[in-house]
A = this chain, B = another copy of it.
Amino acid sequence: MEIDTQLIPIPPDPKILSKKNVVVIDVLRATTVIVYALSQGAMEIIPVASVEEAKERAKTFSQEVTLLGGERNSQKIEGFDLGNSPTEYSEERIKGKRIILTTTNGTRAFYLVSAGNQIFIGSFLNIGAVAMRCVSLDRDLLIFLSGNKGSFSLEDTVCAGMLIDLILKNGEKPVNLTDASYDALFLYQRFEENLIGAFHFSSHGKELFELGGGGDLIFCAQTNITEVVPLFKDGVIRIF
């Protein structure tokens, strides 16, 4: 098994990708929101690229079970039911609901990797469960980091490194790491004892903190609070 890590969110080669499983990570905050919402009983998440598309898609579903969620510039979108803070996605609010989600970095990522074999959604919240799934499937893996406005994201890379660390520790077969995966692994080891510390260096972490999102940072740095492993398939994210 080879693990490669896409450090910058540019489109991977679809031919190579079709042979691999993919884990999409956007710690702040799209994949944290998705994992948490599904752990709280959301029916499904439909990631879309634009605010307009979100509104159009919502019209095609029963309004009773459909919510609009997401952010632009880290802020809730006007007319939407939910923002992009995972704390909003509690059981009382979203159980049994379909969420149409649009965020700056994370929702775009799913379409960039749609040629992948199986596409999992990872965050610190479910990283152990994702690792165990990758180990049991034993297929070459691309960890795709959503980044921050097209650039490298420190916290996504730390999370990728934790995933790699767990696969190495739990798998029995040899694993080959690319240079990018070693980079992620070493970065994780730097922050292993203090994941929150990574947010203090990260530009997105600092931005959220300044906007009063310090609570979200603490929430997003929780590890292994759920075992759900969401999959992106035919445009929908569910626990298939």
Binary contact readout A161-182 vs B (1 if CB under 8 angstroms, 0 otherwise): 0000000000000000111101
Secondary structure of the A contact surface, majority rule: helix
Name the CB-closest residue of B to A204.
Answer: B179
Which chain B residues border A152 with CB–CB below 8 Å?
7, 178-180, 183
Name the CB-closest residue of B to A147.
Answer: B179
A145 nearest CB across to chain B (Å): 11
A187 to B7, CA, bound (A): 14
Binary contact readout A106-147 vs B (1 if CB under 8 angstroms, 0 otherwise): 000000000000000000000000000000000000000000
Binary contact readout A72-106 vs B (1 if CB under 8 angstroms, 0 otherwise): 00000000000000000000000000000000000
Which chain B residues border A179 with CB–CB below 8 Å?
148, 151-154, 201-204
A201 to B178, CA, bound (A): 9
> Is A10 an interface position by the 8 A CB rule?
yes
Residue of A153, A157, A180, A204 with most chain B CB atoms under a 10 A cut-off: A180
A189 to B152, CA, bound (A): 19
Residue of A7, A153, A177, A189 with most chain B CB atoms under a 10 A cut-off: A7
A204 to B178, CA, bound (A): 10
A123 nearest CB across to chain B (Å): 18
Is A178 touching B151 in the complex (CB atoms < 8 A)? Answer: yes
Name the CB-closest residue of B to A176.
Answer: B203
Partner of A187, one of B148, B153, B178, B183: B183
> Is A190 an interface position by the 8 A CB rule?
yes
Partner of A180, one of B10, B151, B190, B204: B151
A201 to B185, CA, bound (A): 12
A46 nearest CB across to chain B (Å): 29
A7-B152, A154-B179, A182-B201 given. 20 additional CB < 8 A pairs? A7-B7, A7-B8, A8-B8, A10-B10, A151-B178, A151-B179, A152-B178, A154-B182, A154-B183, A157-B183, A177-B201, A179-B202, A179-B203, A179-B204, A182-B202, A186-B187, A186-B190, A187-B187, A189-B190, A190-B190
